[in-house]
Amino acid sequence: MRSKIVAEDLAHIVEDFDLPWSKLEGKTILVTGANGMLPAYMVETLLYLNEKDDRTKTKVIGLARNKERALARFAHYKNRDDLELLIQDVCDIVSIETKIDYIIHAASQASPKYYGNDPVGTLSPNVLGTYNLLSLARHKRTRGFLFFSSGAVYGQVRPKTLIKADAYDFISQLISCLDKQPVTAQNSWLEQCKTWQEKYPSPDPAYNQSEPGIINSYNFTTSLSRHLASDAIIATDAGTAFTCTHQGLELRSTQRFIASRGLGEMGFGLPAAIGASFANDKKSVVLITGDGSIMLNLQELQTVATHKLPLKVFLYVNNGYLAIRATQRNLFDEQYPATGKETGVVCPDMQKLFEVFGFKTFKMTHPGSMNTMIKQVLATNGPVMCEVMMKPDQPLGPRLASHLQPDGSIVSPPLEDLYPFLPREQLAQEMLIGLHPRSAEIKP
């Protein structure tokens, strides 16, 4: 039997507020952090509604980590068919067979002090838990999602010690402290990572093949790494220039690599290379970009010419939009609107264009002379552009890619499930935390 105070609170919530409770009739609602005070009240409010009205009941699933606390907290609802207790950590994958209409995510430590005392334990349910629940919501086609826990609710944690310093100076001092108190290496995890690197090399050797008259971007990136100066600055763009460079470039600790990893917007590379050159006393900067991306900021070539910036531009020529065509090929039955000459999208003659702006130009077409030409481009004074002639439909991988199911639906896999997809049995064996439900749906 619920306490008198709780009973009064529930009556006040339900009867004194004109809320559209009817929208919850017959729905299933998942409430995480059900042992907490506020989420427990939400569970009880929904169950009280089922008692109050003659209607189709709302099904409540209360997710909690501590089984004993949950059984004690909801003891007076024992044997009711409108409440189900799910005992697990929200930071683990949440798998529920039944439909879920609404999710209320309220699983988190709710005191500001925990941000200082237990930052990982506080942030994990807000980050990992939210990701898992959003994945569940997408899979279940959930109608609504309420994120109940946020930093805005907790307020500001006042640190005991306030450090005011340049971030570079602070991090440098922090690194120097490792000499006095070294961090213990997690050898077993490092060995596991090495095993995966050997078993699943990146880039995939199957995609790393050049053809006569065609340069493979993965081969090119690996070769470029061997010829870059120890203090080289490299900027990259979006699409193929982004993915292949990240997977194939072998960076040294003294080199700088500039990329727009979060947005991956086309056209980023040229302004980034210009800015990096100015920030380093007009030093030479290597730019890896594509014929599609360069079109978005062509006017900045005049900035390079005006200030005589010694940029070394390696320009992938693949009819403009290789990465977009890969998506069209995988998901849209090889229909290619607005990504090639056949549908009205054409890039100009890049050699002529760059020569107008005073660049010296080269064209790389033969794998056998690739290394020689890379060295020649890097050794040439002033601004230089070298076309890297690619196959317009060169495969890209491993990469995150949605999967088109036989029934026409599209499954977006989790980050660990990359294309080309492994057999499901093999992926399940490699997973330390089990196969994600969306991965299980994919039939490679």
Mean pLDDT of 420-437: 90
Yes or no: say if 387 and 235 are a contact pair by the CB < 8 Å rule: no
Domain boundaries, the chain: 4-154, 207-389, 405-441
pLDDT at 112 over 70: no
Yes or no: say if 387 and 319 are a contact pair by the CB < 8 Å rule: no
**Which among 245, 254, 208, 241 has a CA at the least distance from the CA of 225?**
245
Structure tokens that stand for 18 in this block: 């004109």
Please, what is the average pLDDT of the chain?
89
**Which among 204, 223, 205 has a CA at the least distance from the CA of 367?**
223
Yes or no: say if 278 and 250 are a contact pair by the CB < 8 Å rule: no
- 4-154 CATH: 3.40.50.720
55-82 pLDDT tens trace: 789 999 999 999 999 999 999 898 899 9
Q: Which residues are CB-contacts of 371 (< 8 A; sequence separation ≥ 6)?
A: 223, 226, 227
Structure tokens that stand for 418 in this block: 């990359």
Fold of 207-389: Rossmann fold (3.40.50)
| pLDDT, position 196 | 93
Share of the chain above pLDDT 90, in %: 53
DSSP 73-114: HTGGGTT-TTEEEEES-TTSPP--SS--SEEEE--S---THH
Structure tokens that stand for 191 in this block: 């060995």
Do 4-154 and 207-389 share a fold?
yes
pLDDT at 151 over 60: no
224-266 pLDDT tens trace: 999 999 999 999 999 889 988 988 899 999 999 999 877 778 9
| pLDDT, position 157 | 57
pLDDT at 118 over 60: yes
Residues linked to residue 389 through DSSP beta bridges, in sequence order: 317
Residue with tokens 């989420």: 39
Model confidence at 155, pLDDT cuts 50, 70, 90, reads low
- What residue type is 397 in one-letter code? G
Model confidence at 53, pLDDT cuts 50, 70, 90, reads low
110-119, 271-280, 331-340, 361-370, range with the lowest pLDDT:
110-119
146: helix, coil or strand? strand
Residue with tokens 């005070």: 37
**Which among 417, 411, 424, 412 has a CA at the least distance from the CA of 399?**
417
Structure tokens that stand for 182 in this block: 């070294």
- What residue type is 332 in one-letter code? F
pLDDT at 376 over 60: yes
Helix (H) or strand (E) holding 270: helix 269-279
Calpha distance 100→63 (Å, rounded): 13
Model confidence at 161, pLDDT cuts 50, 70, 90, reads confident
If one compares 407 and 425, the residue with the highest pLDDT of the two is: 425
DSSP letter assigned to residue 127 = I
Calpha distance 154→149 (Å, rounded): 8
Mean pLDDT of 337-360: 90
Q: Confirm whether pTM is higher than 0.95.
A: no
